[in-house]
Amino acid sequence: MNKKTLTYIDHFHGNVQPASWEALGLGAKYAGEGGCAALVIGEGVQELAAQAFQHGADQVFLADHPELKDFRFEPFADLISKVAREYEADVLLFPTTTRCRSLAGMAAVDLETGVLVDVTDLETSNGDFIATRPIYAGKLLAKVTCDAKPQIITTRPRAFSTPEPDPGRSGEIIEVSVDLDPEQIPTTVVDYATREGGVSLTEAGVIVSGGRGTSNSADLEPPGDLDEEEAEIWKAHQGFELIQELADVLGAAVGASRAAVDADYIPYEHQVGQTGKVVSPDLYIACGISGAIQHLAGMRTSKTIVAINKDPDAPIFNLARFGVVGDLYDILPPLIENLKQKLDK
Amino acid sequence: MKIIVCVKQVPDTAATMSVEGGEISWGDASLIINPWDEYALEAALVLQAEHGGEVIALGMGKEEETEAIKHALAMGADEAVQISDPQFAGADAVAVAKILAAAIEKIGSADLVLMGQESVDSQSGILTSQVGRALGWPIYPLVSAFSEFDPDGGSFQVRRAMEEGKQIVNGKLPAVISVTKDYGEPRYPSFMGIRKASRATYPTWGADDLGIDPPTSVVSWPEVQEPLEREVVTEIIEGETPQEKAEKLAEKLIEEKVL
């Protein structure tokens, strides 16, 4: 393959979403002599160009401008379409992140082409891409093709390998002229409410999840002034504290079932499943989750699944490599202690 | 103020999906409004209650695929429009966006277009951006809260989700916005609402009504497959006490190099 590939490097204030490097790895793989280029947009982001070279880019288009400090869809999409057009890219790659889904969509309208969204596998046939993407939360797989140029592809985080960075590698920086009239940008950023630390679910190698079972402790005694619903949520919070503790030991992200989110045990951003996030970690530990079909759809491609549940007939056990029949309140404390010792933490 | 909410009919999320003769099948599962669209409708109805105006549900699909607009009317949308034309079969996302944009322009003078963050069937999550781009309007995907909404001044503030948390932005109308689940629980249709919806009439528009040629589609799905069954041998960790089970599980995870 000798395609001209252009990969957009997604970042937040200079912190790159790691899936960008996975997309760039594909850019390098299919570029051959066509050239592997990356595009970095922001303010004070020259360092990202260096990282892009180390991860396989030969050229980096750099749009660095004070007006680009904060991410906004319209100016970023305008620049992406402009560079893709001028570079005459055959393939435009993005990681499937919240920002890039929409950027890819906008670029497809601008460039009169289409997007192969959230791709988990990529083959070629006669120089054309045939992408595989899960639909219905992975209950089915679709083969998709795009019959126009550039072919826009967004890659699902963790579906493709990260190229090994080569510290000695460098390349050519091409400055993109940025001509922005702040008055013409419809959006102004007022503030952020960002999380401290924490691992994002879609990027996490290990996920510990909780379900309805978090509120099922017979022994816990909630404070007396709570009504029934408040007492249930109070109990669930104790369960999720154990889950968080285990997640901390494993450097894991915390997930939840829809039932737990709908019952207000934990915020929606933690929901895994068909109407939440679709995840694919190396290890998924489901605690007190029975395994509704919508939840299984969102985590079934996890490499190893562990289920801890009181009910031996819970459907989650059918997907699990290891199962423990028991109450998460009884199993998690000794599991946390054991893993702390064994992992020397 | 005029708010248009795009809605879609999909198979129930509990459906077991299969492929039969190359076609996607959901067996005898019921058809429902795309669950994400209910949050967009809820946001539209809340904005309408605060600022007045009308809420119009805009659906697209085969003529008989009306579950979504019926549900929208039952929740409280004032009117509905169904887009349906055999010439639109197989439309890709960009083509759908252009068709919806044409319908939004035909409805006319909309201040806001709301939609769910994605549909549970194709799960592309790119339609908001493409409809916005086709209309030339700004987009605000993944919104969980509105504030300082001023339809007369044409401005508003929203909180929108990203991997790192929330971004709080001021935006300008007209705009295309997708609403996420953490906006808040959508209302259930009332008995009166369901009766009203069952009697409602609404126009069905095709390419001629929209005054467009069917847009070209470049993305196609030559094949759909069922994923391979996972072959998992489940090992139930036995033990006399929870401590013993926990210790054995920890050993297994380390032995099998899972950790």
CA end-to-end distance (rounded Å), chain A: 47
**Using the beta-carbon criterion (under 8 Å), do A186 and B128 form an inter-chain contact?**
no
**What's the N-to-C CA distance of chain B in angstroms?**
56
How many angstroms away from the CA of A100 is the closest CA of chain B? 9
Could you tell me the pLDDT band of residue A218, with boundaries at 50, 70 and 90?
confident
Mean pLDDT over B219-247 rounds to: 92
Q: How distant is the alpha carbon of residue A245 from its chain centre?
A: 22
Distance of CA A215 to the CA centre of its chain: 28
Confidence of residue A224 (pLDDT cuts 50, 70, 90): confident
Q: Is the pLDDT of residue B7 over 90?
A: yes
Give the mean pLDDT of A207-212.
Answer: 97
Mean pLDDT of A202-223: 91
Q: Which chain B residues have a beta carbon less than 8 Å from that of A321?
A: 232-235, 256
User: Least CB-CB distance to B259: which of A15, A136, A283?
Assistant: A283
Contact B130 A300 (CB under 8 A): no
Of residues A15, A115, A186, nearest to B93 (C-beta)? A115
Contact A289, A309 (CB under 8 A): yes
Give alpha helix (H) positions in chain B. 35-51, 67-75, 93-107, 127-135, 191-199, 207-210, 242-255
Cα B234 to the chain's mean position, in Å?
Answer: 36
Report the pLDDT value the prediction gives residue A221, as an integer from 0 to 100.
Answer: 85
pLDDT of residue A198: 67
What's the pLDDT tens digit per position in A113-125? 999 999 999 999 8
What angle is formed at CA A16 by the lines to CA A15 and CA A19, rounded to 5 degrees?
150
Look at phi and psi of residue A110 and say left if phi exceeds 0, alpha if psi is from -120 to 50, else beta: alpha
Check CB contact under 8 Å for B245 and A268: no
pLDDT at A126: 86
Residue A114: list chain B partners with CB under 8 A: 92-94, 217-219
Nearest CA in chain B to A150: B218
Say if A245 is an interface residue toward chain B (CB within 8 Å). no
Half-sphere exposure of B132 toward its Cβ, with a 13 Å CA cutoff?
Answer: 29
Question: Percent of chain B, pLDDT > 90?
Answer: 93
From CA A142, how far away is CA A134, in angstroms rounded? 6
pLDDT at B36 over 90: yes
CB A293 within 8 A of CB A278: no
What pLDDT sits at residue A298? 92
Q: DSSP secondary structure string, B64-126? A: T--HHHHHHHHHT-SEEEEE--GGGTT--HHHHHHHHHHHHHHH---SEEEEES--TTT----
Q: Determine the Cα–Cα distance for residues A255 and A277; give it in Å rounded to an integer.
A: 9
| Whether A342 and B163 lie within 8 Å, measured CB to CB | no
Element (H, E) at A260: helix A258-262
Calculate the alpha carbon distances from A197 to A249, A255, B119, B165 in Å.
14, 16, 31, 11
Cis peptide before B151 (omega within 30 of 0): no
What confidence category does residue A340 fall into, taking pLDDT thresholds of 50, 70 and 90?
A: very high
pLDDT of residue A197: 61
With a cut of 90, say whether residue A161 has pLDDT above it: yes
* B-chain residues near A186 (CB < 8 A): 138, 171-172, 175
- pLDDT at residue A196 in the model: 63
Q: Which residues of A touch B166 (CB under 8 A)?
A: 192-194
What mean pLDDT value characterizes chain B?
Answer: 95
- Average pLDDT of the segment spanning A292-310: 94
Note the pLDDT of residue A1: 72
**Contact flag A189-B236 (C-beta cutoff 8 Å):** no
- On the question of pLDDT at A181 being above 80, the answer is yes
Kindly list the distances between the CA atom of residue B30 and the CA atoms of A270, B19, B67, B83, B121, in Å, as whole numbers in the listed order: 28, 17, 10, 22, 14
Q: What would the two tokens of residue A134 be?
A: 């899960």
A12 vs B127, B162, B243: nearest CB: B162
Query: What band does B43 get if pLDDT is binned at 50, 70 and 90?
Result: very high
A322 → closest Cβ in B11, B128, B237: B237
Predicted structure pTM score? 0.93
| Residue A135 Cα distances to A236, A273, A333, angstroms | 32, 13, 38
Nearest to B94 among A108, A130, A342 (CB): A108
Nearest CA in chain B to A268: B182
Mean predicted confidence (pLDDT) in B65-86: 97
